[in-house]
Amino acid sequence: MVPDHERETGKARNTVKDRLHLVQEQVARLIGDLATLRKRAAELEAEANDHRRTVEVLKARVTELERENG
C-alpha cells in the first residue's frame, strides 16, 4: 500500500508534468501563429508598397493630363 504523502506527491508530479506538457503545446502553437502572422504581415507590406507605387503613377498621370488641358 502506498502512503498518502507519496500518492499525493506522485499526483502532484503528474499534475506538474501535465501542466508542463500543456504549456509546451501552447508555446508551440504560439510559435506557429507568430510565423503565420509574420508571413501575413510581409504579404500586406508588399501589397501596401504596390498600392503606393500605383498612387504615384496615377498622380503623375493626373499631373500630365492637367498640363495637357491647361
Q: What is the DSSP string of 26-67?
A: HHHHHHHHHHHHHHHHHHHHHHHHHHHHHHHHHHHHHHHHHH
Q: Which of 41, 44, 21 is nearest to 33 (CA)?
A: 41
Report how far residue 19's alpha carbon sits from residue 13's, in angstroms, rounded to the nearest whole number.
10
Q: What average pLDDT does range 7-12 have in this prediction?
A: 58
| pLDDT tens digits, one per residue of 44-59 | 999 999 999 999 999 9
Q: What is the pTM of this model?
A: 0.65
- Who's near 10: CB < 8 A, 6+ residues apart? 2
Name the grid cell of 40.
501575413
